Each structure stands twice: as C-alpha cells, then as structure tokens.
Structure 1
Amino acid sequence: MLITFLNLPRVHKRLISVASDMIVLFVAIWAAFSLRLEQDLWIPTREHILVAAITVVFTIGVFIRLGLYRAVIRFLGDKALMTIIYGVAASSLALIVLGYMLQVPVPRSVPIIYGALAFLFVSGTRLGIRMLVNHPNQRNKEPVAIVGAGETGMALASALRQGTEYRPVLFVTMDRANHKTMIDDLPVVSIDLISKHLARYNVRRILLALDLYSGVDRKQLLSRLEPLEIPVQTVPSVSELLSGQARINDIRDLEIEDLLGRDPVRPDAAVVAASLFDKSVMVSGAGGSIGSELCRQILRHKPRSLVLFERSEYSLYKIERELKRINEVESLGVELHPLLGSVVHRRRCESVMRTFGIQTVYHAAAYKHVPLVEHNVIEGVQNNVFGTYHLAEAAIDVGVERFVLISTDKAVRPTNVMGASKRMAELVLQGLAERQASTVFSIVRFGNVLGSSGSVVPLFRDQIRDGGPITVTHPEIIRYFMTIPEASQLVLQAGSMGAGGEVFVLDMGEPVKIADLARKMIHLMGLSEKTEEAPDGDIEIVYTGLRPGEKLFEELLISDNPQGTAHPRIMMAKEAFMSWKEVEKVLNDLTRASHAFDCKTVVDTLRHAPTGFAPNGDVEDLVWCNQIQDRLSPIERKAVVHQLPQS
C-alpha cells in the first residue's frame, strides 16, 4: 500500500495530503472542545460545525499559500515544520475571530489547545510517513561514523540521510568532554573509545568531516584510525564547497595532504601578488602537473596576460578550458593565450615572449621520469638542458624581468641522467645569471610531488583497488614529499624573492619511507597487509628492485650550509657553480655528442662537469644499446646482454 502511494502522481499525493489535513484539523477542533468541556463525547452544534468548517477551509488555504503541499514528505525539513507552525497559528486566530463574528461560544483556552493538537496531528502525520518511507532505505544503507561533530559533520550527516548510500550512526569527537552527548539524534563518542563503539554500531566506513579551523592534528588522527583497518574517507574542502565544485556528500578517498601528514607551506600572499598582479606571465610546460597548478594560482593573482606554452596539444586544450572557466566564473579578466611549442625551439620561444611582452617566465617543462630518461638519454638532455638554455637565452634577448626554473631533489648528487640533466640546467642558469644582470634567474628545488603524473599515490591506490600487489622498488627506499599546490606556491614565492642565480630549497620536514606509505594506504582503505606472518591478509607488498638510475635516499642540498630567507620554510642553498665560459664548453661538448648520437660521451660529459653525477650503472639508452649489440660479435654481444634493460 505504501509503495502504491509513493508511485501515485504528484497531484494525487497533494490531494490526499489536503484531505488528511482536513480530517485531522476537524479532529483537533473536536478534541479541543472535548478536553476544555471535560466531556468524553462532545456533540457539536450546527454553529460549531460551521465555525469548524470555515476554520479548516481557511487553514488549508493558508497552507497552500505558504507552500506546505509543495514540500516532499520524505525530505521534510525545518522549513516545512515552521510553515505548519505559521499555518496553525493563523488557524487558531481564525477560530477566535469566527467564534466572535458568528456569536458562537468558543472558550478562551480552546484555540490554544486546538493549536497544539493541530500542530501535533499535521506534523505528526507527515513525520510518520517520512519515517515509514525512509526507514527501510536507512536499513539498507552502509553504516558510517563521522569524525568531527562540528558544522561540517552535521551538514554531512544531514546530506547522507537524504542520500542512498550511507547511514550516519555515530559522531566521533576529539574532545573527551563531549563523550556520550547527542548531536542531531546521533551519539557522540570520544576518539579514545572509537574501537569499542565501531563494533557496537557495526560501522563499515569512517568519514572525516573536520571544520576548517578545528585545530585537529590530522597526522595524529590518522595514526589512531589506521590500526582499525576500516576504510577512511573524507569530504570536499570548504573552498570546493563555496566555489560549487563539490557537494558536502561527495565522499572521496583521503586527500594527499592527509597522507603526507604535515602542515603545508603557506606563501606570503602579499609578496607573491605584488610580483604577478598586472604582469604578463608565461608558463612553459603549462599542461603538466606542476605547470597546470602554477597556471591556476597565477591566474587568481590577476596578471594582465597568461601565456600557456605546451608541446602536448591535449594537455594544452585541457588546461586552457579549465582556466577559461575559472576566469569567467571569478570575473578575473585575465587574457589567456594557449600556444603550442617546444622549449628546444629558440626562435619560437623568443617570438612568443616578444609578441606578448612577457615579464616573468616559470619554466616547468621537463622530462622527469627517471627510467624513461635513462632509456632516452639524448632526448632527456635536449629537453632538460638545452630547452632550459634556449628558453633562458630567449628571455635575456627579449628583456624578461624574472625567470624561475623548477628543479628537483634528484639534481643533488645525481645517480641518473634525469637528475644530472636538471643539475646541468641549474648550472646553465647560474652561469647566465653571472653573464648578465637584466634578467633575474632563480631556481626552485623540491622533492617528489604527490599526485603528479607518475606519483606513487595514485599508482598504489589503483593497485589496491585491483586487489594488489603493491609494487615498491626497495623496502628501505625513502623520499621527500610535497603536494602540487604546495610546490606551486613555493615556486611563486621564490620567483618573487630571487635576486639572481639563487637555488631555493623547501624545508620539507622528515622524509617518508615508501613502504610505510603503502602500508598506511592499505590500512586506511580498510584492508590488511598480506605477509608471511599474516597469509590471510588482503594486499601484498612486492619489492621489485631499484630501477636504472634510482637511489635509496634523495637529498635537497649539496652543501651543508643553507641560508635562511624571509620565508621561514624556504632555505637558500650556497653551492659551487660554473663560470659562463665553463658552462659554454660543456654545452658545446653535449651538442657534438648529441649530434653524433653518442650516448656514452653525453653521459661522460655530464659526469665530468661539476654536477656530482655518479651513475650507478652502464648507459641504458634503448637505441644506443641495440646499436651497440648490432656492432658486436656474438661473444661480445653475449657479454653485454645482462647489462641491457629488460622489457
């Protein structure tokens, strides 16, 4: 019967609601008189019936006018209850007025009793139907606990009740004083006793809904939730909610910042804004992970124009489309210029800069995937070293004010071609900074970026969802980590601080062991690690061995005497650099070796330059190795087969 009612057309449901309200209002008037006159069976007179009929019809009209019958009963909220209160108050007043006008005796307490009963009957029927409709659906939902008993948590609980997937059964608070209280009809328990109550309420999932300024130590919180082996997810940030990019009930996996477990670096907004506002800015590699985030943040500082320089057509299309939308929605008024091109083409770079009057360049274009660059040595050096050189020379010729290079921690005592090429790019810029003074060159060096293309976090997440195993190269491998927005903020901050040739380094805190990060992700996704001691676990971690050019530990500083800057979390490295004559000689040697496609000479040139390059293996370039094989005798070929990369 209930299903039949729910499947009726909307107009039929409204007619039934009107008829129901008329009946309960008549009953409320009769009950009010019966209680006041203390009669078990009060018989109304014709005049009383007339007053009651007019009162009921008037009340229905008020309800219609207030929009009560437009409210969907299963989603009945506070506004509908307030509408009933207003309508019942008007109805009680009408009962008094009609009794006076028609000379029908209406005791003074009857309208009060009637108003209370009418509210109980009208609202009670609706709440009862809502409970009947929603209760079976609630039982079928997955029970969840909400960590955070503030405004964000209550908004999430309300949204989940209206949804179809999750049923909030518990609030978890970090304030022990709130233990055993009730919020929104849900019990609140302390984080200290969460394990006991999760089992009691059969919680299958934990949702983080922390207020923006809650002051909760998220790293400590996750360390307490991790042993529970229950999936932990989060809700969108306040900024996403305010901008309309997400809704409160858009549940997602833990943010990268949560896994990082430390406070992100905050830039000096005033200094950054002063260096970008009303400027003409160019970002190379604008479609990449770092480049695209740089563009988003630069755009909000309202430069006069922003040139997106990218060699990948699809990546450029994506970032241009996104930035156009932001530009329009936030009414920023920035001129966007999407341009295809490669940094290795000097004349193209110079033409672009001159045409749009570029004042600041952020150079994010680079090949950064270590094994791929090992297998493509010449292309890696051309893009990372000569691309930086050509773009920087074009900037000098055009008169660009500032040029910022995005570097990597792999440039410090590199063991691979990618790191050596980025260190050489640093030396090129430092040499150019010494050679001239018109363009201020700065270098920003930071660790691995979580969430970028090739990052371990999305890779691990996909492997966990596929049932494992998680592949880690070595049980002791350690890396520094930061988020894409954090890295981009540092680049913008350093770009505004540089005076010429500096290498800026972020104080990134403690490095993270990759294997520990993998275990944390397994546990926070509600699974257990499969080991020899726990063969029934869900996900196994498999160690595949270090890849070509990879090392266990990454460093951020070559020397041990970094200097502080105006920003408390940014250091300035004082490191040896080459004069421009020395740089020019190395570039000429690399050019000759590249034109001859002599990968061994390219590697040797990088190794003999003051890059600190110490290869931990032979040349791994795929074309070079296969060419060498073709030139060797069968005995010689057999001797080098073990050195070639395995596909």
Structure 2
Amino acid sequence: MFQKFLNLPRLHKRLISVMADVIALSFALWASFALRLDQWPWVPNLDTLLVCGLTVVFTVALFVRLGLYRAVVRYLSDKAFGTVVLGVACSALALIFLGFWFEVAVPRSVPVIYAALAFIFVAGSRMSIRMIVSRPRRHNKERVIIVGAGETGLQLCQALQQGTEFHPVAFISFNSGNHKALINDLPVYDIDYIETAVELRRAERLLLALDADSGVDRRRLLRQLEPLSVPVQTVPSMSELVAGQKRINDIRDLEIEDLLGRDPVRPDNAQVAESLYGKSVLVTGAGGSIGSELCRQILQHRPRVLVLFEQCEFSLYNIERELQAINEIECLDVKIHALLGNVAHRRRCEAVMKAFEVNTVYHAAAYKHVPLVEHNVIEGVQNNVFGTWHAAEAAIACGVERFVLISTDKAVRPTNVMGASKRMAELVLQGLAQRQSDTVFSMVRFGNVLGSSGSVVPLFRDQIRDGGPVTVTHPDIIRYFMTIPEASQLVLQAGSMGQGGEVFVLDMGEPVKIVDLARKMIHLMGLDEKDENNPDGDIEIVFSGLRPGEKLYEELLIGDDPQGTAHPRIMMAREVSLPWRELEAFLAEFTQASHNFDCDAVVTLLKKAKTAYTPSSDMADLVWCHGADIDVSDSSKVVHLNS
C-alpha cells in the first residue's frame, strides 16, 4: 500500500500533501481553542469557523508560494523545515489579523498554541514520511564506519546518507575526548575502541576520511586496521575535491603506497620549473605508466611544446586525449604533438627533434618486464640498448640540451637480460657524456613502481577479487617500491640537476617483503589468508618459484660510496664507466649479433661489457630455444635497424 503511494505521480502526491496540511492545520486550530478555553468538545460558532477557514486557506497558499510542496519528502533539507517555521509563524499572525478584522474573540495564547501544534503536525508528518521511506532503503545498504570525525568525515557521512550504497553507523575519532559523543546523530568511538565499534555496530566496511591537517600516521593506522579483516577504503584527497576531479562519495580502494614505510619524495619545484618552463620537451614511451605520468607533470610546468613519442597507437591516443583535456581546462597553452615512432629508428628520432627544436628529452621507452625480455632477448636489447643509443645520438646531432634516461634498480649487478640491457644503456650514455659536452646526459635509477604495467600490486588486487590464489614467486623475495608520481618527480628533479654522466638514485627506505605486502592487501580487503593454521580462510598465497632472470633482492648501487646532492633524498652513484672507443667496439659487436639473431652472442657480450651481468638461469629466449639450429646469418636476411 505504502509503495503504491510512493509510485503515484508527483501531482497526486502534491494534492495529498495539501489535503494532509489542510486537515493538520484545521485540527491544530480546533485543538488550540479547545486547550485554551478548556472545553471538551469545543464547538466553534460561524464567525470563528470563518476565521479558522480563511487562516487555513492563507497558510496553504503561503506554503505553495514558499515552494514547500515542490520539495521531495525523502530528501527534505534543513531549509524545508525553515520554510515550515516561516509559514506557521505567518499563519499565526494571519489568525490574529483575521480575528481582529472579523471581530472574533481570539485569546492571546491561542496563536502561540496553534503555531506550536501546526509546526508539530506539518513538519512531523514530513519527518515521519522521510523516516518510513528511508528505513527500507537503509536496510539494503552496507553498514560502514567512517574513520575520521573531522570535516571530511562529516561531509562523507552526509553524502552517504543520501546515497543508495552505504549506511554510516559510527565515527572513529583520534581525539579521546570525543569518545561516546554524537556527531550527526551517530556515536563516536576512540581509535583504541575500533574493534569494539566494528563488532557492536556490525560494520561491513571501514572508510578512511582523514582531514589533510589531521596529522594522523596513516601507516600506523593501517597496522591497527589490518587485524580487523574488514575491507578498508578511502575517499579522495582534498586537492582532488578542490580541483573538481572527484566527489566526496567517490569511494576507492586503499592506496597501497601508504604501506611503503616512508614519506614521499618532495621535488624542488622551482628548480624543475626553471628547466621546463617555455622549453620544448620530448618524452619517449609517452603512453607507458612512467612516460604518461611524466607528461602530466611536465605539462603543469608549462613547456612551450610537449612532444609525445610512442610506438603503441592506442596508448598514444589515450595520453594525448587526456593531456589535451587538461591543457584546455587549465588554460596552460602548451602545444602538444603526438607522434608514432620507434626509438630504435635514429633518423625518425632526429627528424622529430629537429622539427620541434627539442631542448630536453626524457627517455622512458623500454621493455622492462623481466620474464618477457628473458624470453625475447634480441628485442629487449634492440629496444633498451640500441633504442637508447640511437635516441641519444639523435639528441646530440640536434643540439638537445638535456637527455634523461629512466633506468632501474635491476641494472645493478643484473641477473637477467632486462637489467643487463638497462645497465648497458647507462654505460652508453656515460660514454657519450665523455665524448662530448653539448648535451647533458643523466640517468635516474629507482625500484619497482606501484601501479605500473607489470606491477605486483594491481596483479595481487585482481587475484584477490577473483578469489585467489595470490601468486608470489618466493617467500623471501623483497623489493624497493615507489609510486608513479614519485618516480616521475625524481626523473624531473634529476633532469634539472644533471651536469653530465651522473647516475641518480633515491633513498627509498627499507625494502618491502612481497609476501608481507600480499598479506596486508588480503587483510585490508576484508579477507583472511588461507593456510595450514587457517584452512577455512578466504585467499591462499601460492609460491610459484623464481622466474627466469629473477633474483631475491634488488640493489640501487653498485658501489658502496654514494655521493650526496642538493636534494636530501637523492644520491649520486659512483659507477664504473667505459671510454667511448671501447663502447663503440662493443656496440658494433652487439649490432652484428642482433642482426644475426644470435642470442648466445648477445648474452656473452652483455657479460663482457662490464655490466656485472651474471645470469641466474639458462638461456630462455623462446625462439632460440625452439629453433637454435636455424641459420639466419645470411646477409640477405639482415635487417638494418639504424636506418
């Protein structure tokens, strides 16, 4: 029956509201006279009945004028109740005026009693309807506790109460003085009582809504939340809300970078801006995870021209569309050019750099997935070594001022082809820095990037959502981690600091044990690990064994004596370099071996080239292992990638 009423057309609902108010106001008038005159039952005379009738008509007309009947009852706000107060006050005044006009005795206390009763009946009926309508919807909503009792938490609570997914049941405060208080009619618990709050309020999810200036140690907080085995999610940051990029109720998965155990790297924006503002900047691999974030941050420093160089058409299309939108919305007035191309094609690189008079190159193009490069040795070397060499030679020929290589911690004492090829790329740039001085070459080396293509974090998240198992290669494997914005900031910082041939590394704090990261993600997504001690758990962790070329731990430095820089969190490695003549000879041999598709020769050269390459497994190139007896050394089959 009630649902049929809710499904009525708006006009019918408004007419019912008007009739309900007419009855409520009439009863309020009768009751106010009866109470004042103490006559039960009280029967009005014709004059009094006329005054009361006109008062009701005037009041309803006033409610119509004030828009009370346009308000949707289930979403009534404080303003609507203010409208009722105003209307009832005017109605009481109208009663006094009409009584005086028609010379009807209206005791002085009657308008006061009438106003009180009219407000109770008119506002109370609407409040009752709102509660009845909201209650079934509330039962279908997920019960959540908001961690954070500040302005952000209150805004989130109000937004969720109007939504259809979540029902806030309590707040968690970091101020013990707020314990057992009420905020927005919801109980507040001190953080030390969060386990009690979750059990007592039957919470199914925790939502982090921390104010920017709350000073809460997020890592310590997450360590407190992890044992609860309740899903933990967060709301957008204040900067995203102010920029209009997100809404307060845009709930998202917890950012795992909170578990890194260190503060993010802060760049010297003034120095970076000076090196980019008004310049022509080219980013290779612009569609990749690092390359695209580099483009976003470079764009904010307002270069004159930003050239996006990428061989994947779809990735290039996506990043160009995004950057053009940002450029237009924020009125940055940067000329953005999206170009398809392969960094291994030197003439293409040179033509692009000349056409747009490039001042700075950020070289992010690379094959970086260890097992894939291990299975495709020649392509990995062609892209990582020759791609870097040819792009760097093109930069020299075009008078580019700065060339920054994005390297990796896997280049330190590499055990795989990917790491060895990146170390070889570093040696090439170090040699070119010695050969000439017009173009400043520098390299920046960092660990695994959270959220990048191939990163374990999105992989683990997908595996957990699919019900597991979560695959970890080895129980003792550890890695350094940083966020994509951090990595990009470091690259920009290094690009502005380089003087020629430096290898910059970041003080990344303590490395993270991968199996511990997997367990944290399982717990913070509200699930239990399934193991021998807990056979009824939700998600099992399976150890799949080290992959070809993979090692248990990564390093950032070859030597043990890093040199400090102007940035407290950025160090400069003291690395072995080779003279250009020796490098040139190696590159010639690499060229021949690559043209012959001789994987054994390539691996041998990587060992001889002082990269410190020590393979951890046998040759894993898929084509080589399945067709090693095929002769492709004939000169007619040689593909010259230098052209």
2:227 is aligned with 1:266? no
Amino acid at match of 2:425: A
Amino acid at match of 1:534: N
Cα displacement (A) at 1:162: 2.0
Give the distance between the partners of 2:98 and 2:275, measured in 1 at CA: 74
Contact 1:563–1:572, Cα closer than 8 Å, also in 2: yes
Give the distance between the partners of 1:244 and 1:4, measured in 2 at CA: 39
Give the distance between the partners of 1:97 and 1:591, measured in 2 at CA: 102
Amino acid at match of 1:48: T
Number of residue-to-residue matches in the alignment? 631
2:465 is aligned with 1:460? no
Partner in structure 2 of residue 345 of structure 1: 345
Give the distance between the partners of 1:548 and 1:160, measured in 2 at CA: 49
Amino acid at match of 2:482: M
Cα displacement (A) at 1:536: 1.6
- Could you say if the C-alpha distance between residues 440 and 84 of structure 1 is closer, same or farther in structure 2, counting changes exceeding 3 Å? farther
> More displaced, 354-363 or 374-383?
354-363
> More displaced, 349-358 or 325-334?
325-334
Cα displacement (A) at 1:42: 3.9
Contact 1:327–1:334, Cα closer than 8 Å, also in 2: yes
2:151 is aligned with 1:151? yes
Give the distance between the partners of 1:54 and 1:400, measured in 2 at CA: 87
2:489 is aligned with 1:514? no
Cα displacement (A) at 1:136: 1.7
Cα displacement (A) at 1:605: 1.2
Identity of aligned residues (%): 70
The 3-state SS of whatever aligns with 2:225 is: helix
1:94-113 equivalent positions in 2, closer than 5 A: 94-113=94-113
1:531-546 equivalent positions in 2, closer than 5 A: 531-546=531-546
Partner in structure 1 of residue 11 of structure 2: 11
Partner in structure 1 of residue 417 of structure 2: 417
Cα displacement (A) at 1:366: 0.3
Amino acid at match of 1:317: Y
Give the distance between the partners of 1:487 and 1:170, measured in 2 at CA: 38
Cα displacement (A) at 1:40: 4.3
- Could you say if the C-alpha distance between residues 401 and 99 of structure 1 is closer, same or farther in structure 2, counting changes exceeding 3 Å? farther
Partner in structure 1 of residue 314 of structure 2: 314
Contact 1:405–1:444, Cα closer than 8 Å, also in 2: yes
- Could you say if the C-alpha distance between residues 515 and 96 of structure 1 is closer, same or farther in structure 2, counting changes exceeding 3 Å? same
Contact 2:74–2:134, Cα closer than 8 Å, also in 1: yes
Give the distance between the partners of 1:426 and 1:453, measured in 2 at CA: 22
Partner in structure 2 of residue 365 of structure 1: 365
1:49-64 equivalent positions in 2, closer than 5 A: 49-64=49-64
Contact 2:426–2:443, Cα closer than 8 Å, also in 1: yes
Amino acid at match of 2:150: G
Partner in structure 2 of residue 484 of structure 1: 484
- Could you say if the C-alpha distance between residues 496 and 30 of structure 1 is closer, same or farther in structure 2, counting changes exceeding 3 Å? farther
Q: TM-score, normalised by structure 2?
A: 0.94
The 3-state SS of whatever aligns with 1:495 is: helix
- Could you say if the C-alpha distance between residues 20 and 431 of structure 1 is closer, same or farther in structure 2, counting changes exceeding 3 Å? same
Give the distance between the partners of 2:594 and 2:433, measured in 1 at CA: 25
Give the distance between the partners of 1:135 and 1:400, measured in 2 at CA: 67
2:604 is aligned with 1:604? yes
Give the distance between the partners of 1:430 and 1:97, measured in 2 at CA: 95
1:60-75 equivalent positions in 2, closer than 5 A: 60-75=60-75
Partner in structure 2 of residue 164 of structure 1: 164
- Could you say if the C-alpha distance between residues 219 and 60 of structure 1 is closer, same or farther in structure 2, counting changes exceeding 3 Å? same
Contact 2:261–2:510, Cα closer than 8 Å, also in 1: no
Contact 1:256–1:451, Cα closer than 8 Å, also in 2: no
Cα displacement (A) at 1:100: 4.1
> More displaced, 310-319 or 271-280?
271-280
Give the distance between the partners of 2:90 and 2:439, measured in 1 at CA: 76
Partner in structure 1 of residue 173 of structure 2: 173
Partner in structure 1 of residue 634 of structure 2: none
- Could you say if the C-alpha distance between residues 195 and 340 of structure 1 is closer, same or farther in structure 2, counting changes exceeding 3 Å? same
Give the distance between the partners of 2:264 and 2:308, measured in 1 at CA: 27
Amino acid at match of 1:455: S
Partner in structure 2 of residue 571 of structure 1: 571
1:124-523 equivalent positions in 2, closer than 5 A: 124-523=124-523
> More displaced, 424-433 or 49-58?
49-58
Give the distance between the partners of 1:120 and 1:272, measured in 2 at CA: 64
Give the distance between the partners of 1:275 and 1:113, measured in 2 at CA: 75
Partner in structure 2 of residue 637 of structure 1: none
Contact 1:494–1:504, Cα closer than 8 Å, also in 2: yes
- Could you say if the C-alpha distance between residues 463 and 37 of structure 1 is closer, same or farther in structure 2, counting changes exceeding 3 Å? same
Partner in structure 2 of residue 634 of structure 1: none
Give the distance between the partners of 1:626 and 1:487, measured in 2 at CA: 38
Cα displacement (A) at 1:496: 1.8
Give the distance between the partners of 1:393 and 1:345, measured in 2 at CA: 11
- Could you say if the C-alpha distance between residues 357 and 54 of structure 1 is closer, same or farther in structure 2, counting changes exceeding 3 Å? farther
Amino acid at match of 1:582: E
Partner in structure 2 of residue 25 of structure 1: 25
> More displaced, 559-568 or 348-357?
559-568
Contact 2:261–2:509, Cα closer than 8 Å, also in 1: no
- Could you say if the C-alpha distance between residues 154 and 398 of structure 1 is closer, same or farther in structure 2, counting changes exceeding 3 Å? same
CA-based RMSD:
1.9
The 3-state SS of whatever aligns with 1:628 is: coil
- Could you say if the C-alpha distance between residues 270 and 83 of structure 1 is closer, same or farther in structure 2, counting changes exceeding 3 Å? farther
Amino acid at match of 2:463: Q
Cα displacement (A) at 1:120: 2.1
- Could you say if the C-alpha distance between residues 14 and 503 of structure 1 is closer, same or farther in structure 2, counting changes exceeding 3 Å? same
- Could you say if the C-alpha distance between residues 398 and 108 of structure 1 is closer, same or farther in structure 2, counting changes exceeding 3 Å? farther
In structure 1, runs of 5+ residues without a counterpart are 632-647
Give the distance between the partners of 1:626 and 1:247, measured in 2 at CA: 54
Cα displacement (A) at 1:30: 3.2
Cα displacement (A) at 1:476: 0.2
Partner in structure 2 of residue 593 of structure 1: 593
- Could you say if the C-alpha distance between residues 114 and 439 of structure 1 is closer, same or farther in structure 2, counting changes exceeding 3 Å? farther
- Could you say if the C-alpha distance between residues 353 and 110 of structure 1 is closer, same or farther in structure 2, counting changes exceeding 3 Å? farther
Contact 1:218–1:261, Cα closer than 8 Å, also in 2: no
Amino acid at match of 1:6: L
The 3-state SS of whatever aligns with 2:628 is: helix
Contact 2:375–2:621, Cα closer than 8 Å, also in 1: yes
- Could you say if the C-alpha distance between residues 198 and 562 of structure 1 is closer, same or farther in structure 2, counting changes exceeding 3 Å? same
The 3-state SS of whatever aligns with 1:391 is: helix
Contact 1:401–1:439, Cα closer than 8 Å, also in 2: yes
> More displaced, 248-257 or 235-244?
235-244
Cα displacement (A) at 1:277: 2.1
Q: TM-score, normalised by structure 1?
A: 0.94
Partner in structure 2 of residue 90 of structure 1: 90
Give the distance between the partners of 2:60 and 2:493, measured in 1 at CA: 64
The 3-state SS of whatever aligns with 1:575 is: coil
Give the distance between the partners of 1:48 and 1:436, measured in 2 at CA: 105
Amino acid at match of 1:57: V
Give the distance between the partners of 1:339 and 1:437, measured in 2 at CA: 28
Give the distance between the partners of 2:64 and 2:571, measured in 1 at CA: 68
Amino acid at match of 1:537: G
Cα displacement (A) at 1:576: 2.0
- Could you say if the C-alpha distance between residues 546 and 119 of structure 1 is closer, same or farther in structure 2, counting changes exceeding 3 Å? same
- Could you say if the C-alpha distance between residues 566 and 59 of structure 1 is closer, same or farther in structure 2, counting changes exceeding 3 Å? farther
Amino acid at match of 2:410: K
Cα displacement (A) at 1:41: 4.0
- Could you say if the C-alpha distance between residues 7 and 365 of structure 1 is closer, same or farther in structure 2, counting changes exceeding 3 Å? same
